[in-house]
Structure 1
Amino acid sequence: MLDFYIFINLFFRGYYPRGGGEIIVRVPPVKHLNPINLVDRGTVTKIYGRAFVAGVLPYKMVKDMASAALRCIRREMRDLHVNIQTVQEPKDGAFGNGSGIIIVAETSTGCLLAGSSLGKKGVTADQVGNEAAEILLRNLRHGGCVDEYLQDQLIIFMALADGISQVRTGPLTLHTQTAIHFAELLTKAKFTIKKCEEPNTENYIIECHGIGFKNKNI
């Protein structure tokens, strides 16, 4: 895993498309990045999430999103405990109107995979909850250690790390393929992709020989 920490202070929530949120992010510098090793997903141990509404939107939408997501998950995972928190954001802690849901699956090896969806005009709360749950389930089916939205975010860290990184993913997204292409051009790191030969899954190992970039300022 990457040996650095990120500290985030949330002061105000903002919602698509107007935004208006406010956070402060602090990232202490490090001398170098250790390689990533995410190849053993383990088993899913718990699922939890957060459904929210803000502004003038009714609290009933939160209940509908959470209930729809739970029904969808239960069709494939009957025995696992699922805890989706329902939240009405305080008016002094959010800007504008918004709704949405995020659902996270945590595994026995510490992997986190997620699905999320935002409310929008013309889309029911049930549809929003279903979409988030379907995205999560889709990312659990492929057997990888990261979801489709984290895939490409790890590429630059793998390229800069000091050593060989390996990450098990589902089908490679176009964002990931693009990130690999430009990471190789910019850093001269070398990536290889190998399809895993496992029944009933479609996952890949992304391997990278990182360049061992050093922070000369510390």
Structure 2
Amino acid sequence: MKMDSAALEIDGSVMEGGGQILRVSAALSCITGSSIKITKIRAGRSTPGLRPQHLSGLQLVSDLCSGGLQGASIGSTDVSLTPGKIQSGNHTADTQTAGSVCLLLQVALPCALYADAASQLCLKGGTNAEMAPQVDYTVKVFKPIVEKFGVHFDCDIRMRGFYPKGGGEVMVTVNPVKELQPVVMTERGNITKIHGRAFVAGVLPFKLAKDMSAAAVRTIRKEIKELYINIQPHQEKDKASGNGNGILIIAESSTGCLFAGSALGKKGVYADKVGIEAAEMLLRNIRHNGCVDEFLQDQLIIFMALAKGTSRIRTGVVTLHTQTAIHMAEQLTQAKFTITKCEDELSSNVNYIIECQGSGATNPHL
């Protein structure tokens, strides 16, 4: 396949300088049909270039859009994608490591929306992995919010996989859309419900799950006294490969906003500490009075950019991941973003409105 001479050059070392640039630019290349060449991939990282999960993500997108991929090998710092037609049907991606299935979904989901029929994605790797959303977050927080844009997908967790072995498997069915709706989330209302799940898998004792849960509840109680907090301890039986423990806590607001705090256990770290870490993250995400947490923020940018019309989302401090996603979306689509600081009398904490005039991408097959 010849490289299109008009490929858009993307500097993979700018801003956040990591896998996010790859995910957003590859997905948008696939949807818009424009060829891209990404250089200096992860240039500043301790192990520069493509890691297994980035490589399998790019291969998945290329597979989804019957594209041509050049330079796609572990450690490669330059890669080119020439997209073809987006294909529905069955697609498999396997990181063969504990590389996150949720990051694979981040790159593939937007593409599959613009196919001619439903797609089945079989994603293998880590379901509850460091440096990425846990699969429970994807199902319980990300999914209900992206549904507001008109995105519909089902996620069946067949097997959980943890660091370092991976071995997890998630089956995702994505329905295509004609076009995405814009979303406005600017009023948080008040927090009405806090619930969660603390799990242990493999040889780890159930007591760890109870300890994580109890420590998390104690920590949240110090700040939020009036709500019932229900964090269920859980022993993963048949659906887990390897050993792991972790916790995800979700807060819901009266206007349907969702916030989370999560943490994973590591060797030599007390269960209490894992619970406290997740609880503190949740409290941090609630304090700013925005409508999304710090991890949802950057994941919504691509949908805002593709939607037809103006989306507005109130957030806490705008993260570098989000700024990077905006930078990529503006390069690859006609979307225009503005970020405005809000002077909020209710909250001493700063918050911002991210507004986007979406590009209104339509699905040519529907």
TM-score, normalisation: structure 2: 0.59
**RMSD of aligned Cα (Å):** 0.8
Render the CA deviation track for 1:55-97: whole Å, top value 9, x for unaligned: 111111111100110010000001101000100111x211000
Matched, 1:158 2:304: yes
CA distance in 2 between partners of 1:201 and 1:19 (Å): 39
Deviations 1:131-164 (A, max 9, x none): 0000000000000100000000000100110000
Partner of 1:129: 275
Partner SS for 2:339: strand
Please give the secondary structure, in 1, of the residue aligned with 2:349: coil
Structure with the higher fraction of residues in helix conformation:
2
1:53 matched residue in structure 2: 200
Matching residue's letter, 1:183: A
Please tell me whether residue 207 in structure 1 is matched to residue 355 in structure 2.
yes
Report the count of equivalent residues. 217
How far off its partner does 1:16 sit?
A: 2.1
Cα deviation, residue 201, structure 1: 2.2
Higher relative contact order (CA 8 A, sep 6+): 1
What is the alpha-carbon distance in structure 2 between the residues aligned to residue 206 and residue 16 of structure 1?
Answer: 34
What secondary structure sits across from 2:312 in the alignment? Answer: strand
Confirm or deny that 1:43 pairs with 2:190.
yes
Relative to structure 2, which stretch is displaced further, 103-112 or 5-14?
Answer: 5-14
Cα distance per residue 1:155-213 (max 9 Å; x no partner): 01001100000000000111001001111011131100001101312110000000111
Cα displacement (A) at 1:53: 0.3
Question: What secondary structure, in the 3-state scheme, does the structure 1 residue paired with 2:149 have?
Answer: coil
Displacement over 2 Å in runs of 4+? none
The one-letter amino acid of 2:201's match is: A
Measured in 2, the distance between the counterparts of 1:11 and 1:65 equals 24
Structure 1 counterpart of 2:215: 68
Aligned-partner residue type, residue 180 of structure 1 = I
- Of 248, 256, 259, the match for 1:110: 256
Letter of the structure 1 residue corresponding to residue 353 of structure 2: I
Report the AA paired with residue 144 of structure 1.
G
Q: Unpaired runs of 5+ in structure 2?
A: 1-147
> Which SS does the other structure have where 1:78 is aligned?
coil
Say which SS state the counterpart of residue 152 (structure 2) adopts.
coil
Residue ranges of structure 1 left out of the alignment (5+ in a row): none
Match of 1:81 in 2: 228
Q: Distance in 2 between matches of 1:136 and 1:50?
A: 13
**Residue among 151, 158, 171 paired with 1:4:** 151
SS at structure 1 position matched to 2:279: helix
Matched, 1:181 2:333: no
Query: Secondary structure of 2:223's match?
Result: coil
The amino acid that maps onto 1:215 is N
The percentage of counterpart residues that share the same residue type is 63
Please say if 1:25 is aligned against 2:176: no
